[in-house]
Amino acid sequence: MVVAPGGDAWRAVTRRARRISAKDAARQGPWLVLAPHPDDETLGCGALIAAVSAAGGRVHTAFLTDGSGSHPDAPGWSAQRIAGLRRREAQAAVRILGGVADLLHLDWPDATPAKPGDPVFARSVDRLVAWCRRRGIRQIAVTWSGDPHCDHEAAAALAAAVAARLRCRLYDYLVWGWTVDALRQRLRGIRALAVDSEAGRPKQRRAMACHRSQRGGRIVGARENFRLPRAMLRLIDRPNTVLLETRLAS
């Protein structure tokens, strides 16, 4: 039987987390979900987006990278074509989830993130701050800085800079972080929120199906054919969305 990774850590965090309903989360918004790549929004926060939106909340979505590096050198698939496909997949997924349709694509290249202090990083902070202010963003959810991927770490750093400027609340969600060794120990003592997102799971499953390029068979012949492992897709089975309260903007 294929099971989602990090089950022990998820159960431990859920037991001690502050629990809130999707309706309560909706009242705390508007929300921004910042995803490193198109598909992370659905895999990590899809049920949250769907449940909060259904409860009357507004959830906006922004993407750090264009996702063009998932299938390098695939015959007939330039980086530009892959990026266009992944953008369309993200739009379809967010539409199903019920999120606000005004997606922001920062279009960083895959796996070569800018660092704090770089001009690209600074411009992205300015752009995202202005975008969030126009939408009245009060809560930001971004991938955990401990997620073992450079783009996920960069998204966390960018969100921290934006939250500090906006003076809004910042939460972390895990994607590949659920696969980290000794995760239960690493998360010990970190405050967490468990949002009841059970009602959003059916839409999350449908939205995940939109990301065909990441599930195999859509793009073939690449030097590295990325395909989401079945175990990662089982993250969708969890009845709540865990958000780590690792940093609060002061």
pLDDT of residue 247: 61
Domains of the chain: 7-248 (3.40.50.10320)
pLDDT of residue 153: 98
pLDDT of residue 174: 99
For residue 118, CA distances in Å to 114, 128, 146, 201, 249 come to 6, 16, 21, 38, 22
pLDDT of residue 72: 84
**Is this prediction's pTM over 0.75?**
yes
pLDDT averages per 10-residue partition of the chain, 250 residues: 93 98 98 99 99 99 93 88 96 99 97 96 99 99 98 98 97 98 96 98 98 87 84 96 77
pLDDT of residue 149: 97
Nearest to 83 by CA among 69, 95, 98, 73: 69
Peptide bond into 30 cis (omega under 30): yes
